[in-house]
Structure 1
Amino acid sequence: MTRLAALLLSSVLAAMTGAVHAGDCRQALALGLDVSGSVDLREYRLQIDGLITALNDPEVVRILMSAPQAPVALLVFEWSGPADQAILVPWTKVTDREALAGISAMLADAERRDATPGTALGVAMKTGADFLDQQQGCWKRTLDISGDGRSNLGPEPRNVRDAIGARGITINALVIGADAPASGDLRQTEITELSSYFRTHVITGRDAFVQTALGFEDYAAAMTAKLKRELDGLAISGLQ
């Protein structure tokens, strides 16, 4: 969101007294982090710390704080096998920097837990959608799912995606490619193939997109870019 757009939004919110009520939420954003067996302890920390970095990026903070009358609500959960879904940060409205600091602190305290090695992406999508159904009052509901591989357990993503989209939920994806190899480099080919899989089977909704990270080292930068894109462009019509 440009500075001019932010000022316009602020003016519209101020002008429409009575249209925006306490408790309004302009966007519910559930972030699902991949902690399957392919993610080791180092990669886990890069993912968690990368999300903290992204949430505290100055431009992301500015967008989050641009309309405190109708804040963004955030939830962060981990996903792995069919029975391995855990909330790291419960639904929290980002009304001020203190709330954002609280989210960052909860993430910083997260520890790698034992999880089944499988990748139940379809279950993760359904879980994220169920969390978002708890935020029916938000003008927009978005599931941000990170993953470094294809689903190999539980329902196929393509078999649950359309039903989730029909509930008015947008699914975006952050695809994580392999880290730099000792010799040779097929990462671009591999991440192109994985991105195609997520684009075909996972994302849904208007303006849904796939962001890529070329290895977990690139996660912070990729998540920062993704949050800017997800949080930008609030529909003014939602205020009416």
Structure 2
Amino acid sequence: MGVDGKHRPLVKAALLALALLSGGAEAACRQALALGLDISGSVDAQEYRLQLDGLAAALLAPDVAQKALASPETPVFITVYEWAGQTKQRVLVTWTALRSQADLAQVASTLRATRRLSRKGATAIGRAMEYADALFRQGPDCWARTLDLSGDGKNNNGPTPEVIRKNSAFDQVTINGLVIGSDDTVGRDERQMEIMDLSAYYRRRVIHGPDAFIEVALGFEDYQRAMERKLLRELESLVFGALDVTP
């Protein structure tokens, strides 16, 4: 059920109490959020910057920041990585606890300062999932784990995502997708068809978990808006949906 502003402090107190009972303050982490950004060969230099700068801006958006920092006693931990072919992955932001506006600003600054190393690479979504699994194993032990995969194409290299997501390692992981339409597609109808096809692919083969969902960016210029919407939806359910509080 929803929680109004009057009762949100009670939710925060209950979340902290649950954390302490389940293993101490050091285990009080409500979500581990891994964001994987597609930098395959179809993504040009401008689109690369639109992704990184768009994510930075989305994290600093007032509504997103408010939800991310709503419970500093039980923070969200975030990591960001880029992916392309089977051997093309790189961590951009190591696991970082979001407890203050300064933490968000530091993550945004890191993203904005990042420069692309290579434009070569296929689209290995399955391998991107495996890479995220390794990051989760190295990261904090949080109540929830969410993999947020952005992409503008279908898997064409390495293991398929529908096979990888069946691995028991993902039993407790929600995989959401941010589908990006091509900026090069000519005509509104052609773009809509392309987006519908890729969205259907992500829905059938990529996303995973009972609450998994897809957000759509009409193109890389629309990436920031789509990422904001995606983060708001993910963070809302975690801040106030972890416990069912009855007034």
State whether TM-score is above 0.5.
yes
Q: Deviations over 1:17-61 (max 9, x none)?
A: 943614521000000000000000000111111101110111110
Q: Report % sequence identity.
A: 44
1:99: which partner in 2?
103
Shift of 1:181: 4.4
Worse overlay, 171-180 or 86-95: 171-180
1:9 Cα deviation from its structure 2 partner: 1.9
Cα contact 1:27–1:139 (8 A) shared by 2: yes
Structure 2 CA distance for aligned equivalents of residues 121 and 136 of structure 1? 24
CA contact (8 A) 2:16 2:74 kept: no
Q: Distance in 1 between matches of 2:70 and 2:97?
A: 13
Q: Aligned equivalents of 2:196 and 2:139: distance in 1?
A: 34
Match of 2:242 among 215, 236, 239: 236
The AA in structure 1 aligned to 2:230 is K
Paired amino acid for 1:236: A
Give the equivalent residue in structure 2 for 1:12.
Answer: 14
User: Is the contact between residue 28 and residue 73 of structure 1 (CA under 8 Å) also seen in structure 2?
Assistant: yes
Superposition deviation, residue 178 in structure 1: 1.3
Structure 2 counterpart of 1:79: 83
* Separation in 1, partners of 2:178, 2:222: 11
Number of the residue aligned with 1:66? 70
Q: 1:167 aligns with which of 163, 168, 171?
A: 171
Stretch moving more, 35-44 or 229-238: 229-238
Q: Is the 8 A contact 2:179 2:216 kept in 1?
A: yes
- Which of 57, 61, 65 is 1:57 aligned to? 61
The alignment status of 1:209 with 2:213, answered yes or no, reads yes
Matched position secondary structure for 2:79: strand
Of 17, 24, 30, the match for 1:26: 30
Q: Which moved more, 1:178-187 or 1:221-230?
A: 178-187
Residue number in structure 2 paired with 1:224: 228
Other structure's SS at 1:67 match: coil
**1:124-170 deviation digits (Å, cap 9, x = unpaired):** 01111221122352000000000000010000111111115643111
SS for the counterpart of 2:34 is: strand
Tell me the matched-pair count: 238
Q: Which ranges in structure 1 are unaligned for 5 or more consecutive residues?
A: none
* Closer/same/farther in 2, CA of residues 145 and 164 from structure 1, 3 Å limit: farther
Q: For residue 122 of structure 1, what is the aligned residue in structure 2?
A: 126
CA distance in 2, matches of 1:156, 1:110: 29
SS at match of 1:144: strand
Q: Aligned AA for 1:28?
A: A
Match of 1:142? 146
CA–CA distance in 2 between the matches of 1:178 and 1:82? 22
Structure 1 letter corresponding to 2:66: R
Q: CA 1:82/1:8 → structure 2, altered by over 3 Å: closer, same or farther?
A: same
Rounded to whole Å, the distance in 1 between the matches of 2:111 and 2:46 is: 15
SS at match of 2:66: helix
Q: Structure 2 length normalisation: TM-score?
A: 0.89
Q: In the alignment, residue 153 of structure 1 is paired with which amino acid?
A: N
TM, length-normalised to structure 1: 0.91
Deviates further, 178-187 or 93-102? 178-187
> 1:13 Cα shift?
4.1
Q: Could you tell me how far 1:8 is from its partner in structure 2?
A: 3.7
Question: Aligned partners of 1:44 and 1:164: how far apart in 2?
Answer: 32
* Residue 232 of structure 1: how far off its partner (Å): 1.4
